Structures are given as C-alpha cells and as structure tokens.
Amino acid sequence: PSENYLFGFKQITEIAIKALSPGINDPGTAINAMDYLSDLFAVRMRIPDYKGVFSGDDMLRVRFNESTFAELLYDCFAAIREYGKSDPFIIRRLLRMVKTLHQLAPDTARKEILLDQARAVLEDAGRHIQNSADRERILRVVRGMDGLGEDDL
C-alpha cells in the first residue's frame, strides 16, 4: 500500500467482504471498513485519473494510466454490494457513502459516477429487501439527491 494506493483500497474492501461473509458475520467491522473507504474516496476523487510527465513547455510527454475513479469505485462497491445486498443496514451505509461523496464531488462527472453506483445499490436492494419498513428507511437516505428517486428502488 505504501507503493500503490490501489492495494490499500483492495485490502480494506476485502476486510469488508470477509466481515460480511456468512462464516464471520461481523457487520460492525464491515461498517468500519466502509467508513475508511469513504474517507479514501473523498481524497481519490480529487486526483486526476492519470499521471503524466510533462516537458518544460507543459506538453504531456508520458502518460501513466491507473484505475480510474469510476473503475475503483465500481470494484469496491460491487464486491460489498454482492455480500451485503440483503442487509438493509449495509445498503443504507453504502448509500450514505455515496450521498456524502456526492456532496463533496468536485465536478458533475464524478457526481454522475456516484449516482450510477447508488442506482446499482438500489437495484440490488429492490430485488433482495422486501420489508416495507426497511425499504422506506433506505429511501430516506437518498431523498433529496438529485438524480435518484423512489423509482430506483
């Protein structure tokens, strides 16, 4: 992780996934991992999706492609969504992450990437959470977010 921050994202995501696995079933640890991921994503979304080497006249000479913000967000969210899709508490926490990051997003492109993940979380919740009280609490989290509505659940 000290050489490449992507490993840190991967390790924290794996902690969350293992904590959500039926054999371990430790949602508290998963929530802590998700909180750490939220903080990391708040920093990562302000970093350009590529690094480069520029010449003295500011011409890009070499470009290093890394995982984009969208790819990284998807990789982390998809894994956690898969293990937590029937847990209303985990679904709500994922949506709170998106909501917080959406408010901090530096541009509309990042906001749309976050909304795409929120829609995916809501789609999974719509398939796996049938209790009306749980569904209402999930909807409360996303109310007021432009681009999301009750039809997404």
Which of 116, 51, 22 minimizes the C-alpha distance to 77?
116
pLDDT of the residue at 48? 82
Residue 89, burial from CB neighbour count under 10 angstroms (0-12, 13-18, 19+): middle
pLDDT of the residue at 2? 61
Report how far residue 130's alpha carbon sits from residue 91's, in angstroms, rounded to the nearest whole number: 13
From first to last of the 153 residues of the chain, give the pLDDT tens digit.
566 788 999 999 999 999 999 999 999 999 999 999 999 999 999 988 877 777 878 787 787 777 899 999 999 999 999 999 999 999 999 999 999 999 999 999 999 999 999 999 999 999 999 999 999 999 999 888 888 877 777
Report how far residue 25's alpha carbon sits from residue 14's, in angstroms, rounded to the nearest whole number: 14
pLDDT of the residue at 3? 66
Quote the pTM value.
0.87
Residue 54's H or E segment, with its range, is strand 50-54
Amino acid at 71: E
Report how far residue 73's alpha carbon sits from residue 55's, in angstroms, rounded to the nearest whole number: 32
